[in-house]
């Protein structure tokens, strides 16, 4: 607990610095400096693209939603009061843009996404030694990254979105609740189940993967 | 086992620093004497590290180019907020 708080201090300082920087750039945009707006676009396009990609799962639509998000942001920039960070404000626009698209075109994704299935009852899945003993650089290899993406993508919509905002984007619980327009208890509950589900998926994958390689090595030995 | 189940139920809040000091102490005491829960705790920390570092935020170059052109076309001659 103490360790977590100490290690989060530099992150907090960094976040305050970024918020100040963003407010300064926003003020320049509002004063008519279009180049400043392009700076904001360059700064956030990667994170917004990733968020939309994870929400919508349809790459052919993500580009349109990306354009729509930044256009809405530009048009609404006068309304940015600065009571939250620019990032929170922008992610809320992106989330609403994606939600409107999904409600119109794939309502089943949003309406019936509040079930995580039987996996939620199996949180006490012991950690596989194979998962824990796999070196971090291997976990972050091309194959490992694909596995993480797949584990996240297999979550139902609401769980996936909350997990991405909190654990991929690094927003606080309060910020996630603002972006999603959900209560903090609802965010916590979804996050809890989503995290266990991703852990179990990775656990199962590395247990199986290393088990397979050990069997294969034993086969070669024989 | 009840303690282990309680631990799993509270792990996410524990990692977010969302639980009180007394409960924190109970969890930390449990982690010291329960290797399976300590394993789950480590696995969950690794999972969160992987989530943070494992999802690419690369935007294809052509998408970036079209975004810039689209925004210039729609915004450049328009005051923001209009």
Chain B residues with CB-CB distance to A50 below 8 A: 55-57
Helix, strand or coil for residue A130?
A: helix
- pLDDT bracket for residue A3 (50, 70, 90): very low
Nearest CB neighbour to B8, from listed A29, A74, A123: A123
CA–CA separation, A19 vs B12, rounded Å? 27
Token duo for residue A210: 């290393």
**Residue A148: exposed, middle, or buried by beta-carbon count in 10 A (0-12, 13-18, 19+)?**
buried
Q: What is the value of ipTM here, to two decimals?
A: 0.90
- pLDDT bracket for residue B82 (50, 70, 90): low
The residue written with tokens 């996410």 in the block is B12
Q: Answer yes or no: is pLDDT of A175 > 90.
A: yes
- Is the Cβ pair A168, B63 closer than 8 Å? no
Looking at chain A, which residue has its C-alpha nearest residue B44? A199
Report which of B58, B56, B29 is spatially closest to residue B41, judged by C-alpha positions: B29
A220 to chain B, closest Cα gap in Å: 31
Per-residue pLDDT, averaged over A85-108, amounts to: 94
Helix (H) or strand (E) holding A109: helix A107-111
Q: What is the model's pTM?
A: 0.87
The per-residue pLDDT for range B28-77, each reduced to its tens digit, is 999 999 999 999 999 999 999 999 988 888 999 999 999 999 999 998 77
Partner A contacted by B69 (CB < 8 A)? no
CA–CA separation, A40 vs A42, rounded Å? 5
The residue written with tokens 């796999």 in the block is A134
Helix, strand or coil for residue A18?
A: helix
Token duo for residue A85: 């960070």
**Residue A65: exposed, middle, or buried by beta-carbon count in 10 A (0-12, 13-18, 19+)?**
buried
- Is the Cβ pair A168, B55 closer than 8 Å? yes
End-to-end CA distance of chain B: 60
**Residue A186 has what pLDDT?**
94
Looking at chain A, which residue has its C-alpha nearest residue B3? A124
Residues 5-24 of A with CB under 8 A from B: 5
Q: Are A130 and A211 in contact (CB under 8 A)?
A: yes
Report which of B33, B37, B43, B51 is spatially closest to residue B6, judged by C-alpha positions: B37
Chain A residues with CB-CB distance to B32 below 8 A: none
- Is the Cβ pair A63, B66 closer than 8 Å? yes
């Amino acid at each position: 607990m103490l360790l977590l708080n100490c290690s989060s201090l530099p992150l907090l300082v960094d976040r305050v610095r970024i918020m100040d920087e963003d407010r300064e750039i926003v003020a320049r945009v509002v004063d008519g400096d279009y180049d400043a707006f392009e700076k904001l676009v360059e700064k956030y396009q990667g994170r917004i693209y990733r968020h939309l990609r994870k929400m919508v799962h349809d790459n052919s639509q993500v580009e349109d939603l990306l354009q729509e998000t930044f256009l809405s942001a530009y048009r609404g920039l006068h309304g940015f009061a600065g009571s939250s960070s620019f990032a929170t404000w922008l992610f809320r626009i992106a989330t609403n843009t994606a939600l409107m698209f999904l409600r119109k075109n794939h309502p089943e994704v949003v309406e019936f996404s509040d079930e995580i299935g039987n996996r939620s009852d199996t949180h006490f899945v012991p950690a596989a030694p194979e998962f824990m003993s796999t070196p971090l650089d291997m976990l972050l290899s091309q194959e490992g990254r694909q596995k993480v993406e797949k584990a996240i993508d297999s979550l139902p919509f609401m769980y996936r979105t909350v997990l991405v905002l909190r654990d991929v984007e690094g927003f606080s619980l309060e910020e996630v609740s603002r972006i999603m327009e959900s209560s903090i208890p609802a965010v916590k509950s979804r996050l809890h189940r989503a995290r266990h589900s991703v852990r179990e998926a990775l656990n199962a994958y590395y247990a199986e993967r290393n088990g397979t390689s050990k069997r294969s090595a034993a086969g070669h030995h024989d | 086992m009840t303690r282990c189940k309680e631990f799993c139920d509270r792990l996410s809040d524990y990692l977010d620093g969302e639980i009180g000091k007394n409960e924190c102490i109970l969890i930390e005491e449990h982690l010291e004497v329960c290797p399976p829960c300590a394993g789950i705790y480590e696995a969950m920390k690794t999972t969160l590290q992987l989530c943070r570092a494992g999802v690419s935020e690369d935007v294809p170059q052509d998408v970036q180019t079209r975004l810039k052109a689209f925004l210039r076309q729609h915004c450049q001659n328009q005051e923001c907020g209009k």
